[in-house]
Structure 1
């Protein structure tokens, strides 16, 4: 396992946000993190990325607790793409994506030719290489998200955390981004709202509700009529798609 959490909890004041979560992700696999708004998905990702401090429990990368890793070591290994990442609007697309190389340069202020080759490769993977010289603030919301994913890929992480990476993207780019993520030879945890996209592209799914892990397993094991009703409070029919072979959720009108 490359990422594992052991009885991890997190609270803000007296409000428990993540409550005793235990999960493990196999190397090179994609785990979809599902749950209603406020279920703790984003907080759990930030805990794994050490942007928040656990109240109790341990998070491990391989055999090492993340608490024992230096900031530099963690940054060279784990990349996080947040929902509402902001960046100086005077930067170009290339400049933003270059930020992913910072953990590898140490105190060196300038990018090398090797760095730029990695950055351009990352931009190409998200379909933004031709926009490298464009000012970031002129991009649409979806294009900005693709550049932030390129920044994370330029970091060359072994673990990638993505918080709602398909927000603001049209259907084509939702499919493109999740298809890309699912084919990466790295461990990925991706928080999603769309149950069908999660079933299509994730190897395993973990469902949070009110901060607690209520289900984890293969998509067809997790996405049941009963779980969808209990957690998401909607009536649904679940069947295996004849097209892609994964389970498919059809929502039923009241």
Structure 2
């Protein structure tokens, strides 16, 4: 497995936030993390890239426990895109994407041709090479998300973690961002709220509730009317989309 989480626990303020979670992500596949607010999705992502340390359990990249890895080695392999980041500094798109090369460079290392190649490839992946000189604060929300993903790709990761990458975006940019991510040649874990977007773009889903995994599998296996009622507290019909063949959730108001 590319990412393996085994019986992981993490608590904060006396509350168990991640409570015995076990999941596997196959190399090159996309796992969607679903669950209500406070279910542990964001905390789990931060544990996987070791921004937080597990209380117990094991998280492995390949066959290596991340607890035995140097943080720099993890940063060279795992890229994390948070929900939204902002800055008031007068920086350009290129400045932001270049930050992705930080794990690969020593404090006195000169900028190299390999760094340029990685940054230019990342900008091409997100369709923004012509925006390299544009100031950050002039970008739209969707464009900023593309730049964040480009910064992550400049790390040349084999694993990509994204925490609600479609938050505050219109539907066009939601579809563009998720389509982009799922076409990338990396292993991805994406925390999402939208069940239909998760069904459209993710190979597998894991549903978290109160810090535990309550369902895992393909979208067809996971997204059931009973699960949506139990976990999200709403009633729904489940249909198969005639367009993309995946599950489609129709919410009921009665």
- Normalising by structure 2, report the TM-score: 0.96
1:179 counterpart = 2:179: yes
| Matches of 1:20 and 1:64, distance apart in 2 | 19
2:210 alignment partner in structure 1: 210
Is contact 1:142–1:167 with CA below 8 Å preserved after alignment?
Answer: no
1:140, CA displacement in angstroms? 2.5
Tell me which moved more, 163-172 or 5-14.
163-172
CA RMSD, aligned part only?
1.3
1:47, CA displacement in angstroms? 0.3
1:22 alignment partner in structure 2: 22
Tell me which moved more, 108-117 or 224-233.
108-117
Is contact 1:87–1:96 with CA below 8 Å preserved after alignment?
Answer: no
| 3-state SS, counterpart of residue 8 of structure 2 | strand
1:31 counterpart = 2:31: yes
| Matches of 1:137 and 1:110, distance apart in 2 | 28
2:70 alignment partner in structure 1: 70
| 3-state SS, counterpart of residue 106 of structure 1 | coil
Unaligned runs of 5+ in 1: none
| Matches of 1:119 and 1:88, distance apart in 2 | 22
2:11 alignment partner in structure 1: 11
Q: Where do 1:156-167 residues align within 5 Å?
A: 156-167=156-167
Q: Deviations over 1:127-153 (max 9, x none)?
A: 322211111122233322211111001
| Matches of 1:160 and 1:139, distance apart in 2 | 23
| 3-state SS, counterpart of residue 120 of structure 1 | helix
| 3-state SS, counterpart of residue 99 of structure 2 | helix
Is contact 1:236–1:251 with CA below 8 Å preserved after alignment?
Answer: yes
Is contact 1:81–1:148 with CA below 8 Å preserved after alignment?
Answer: yes
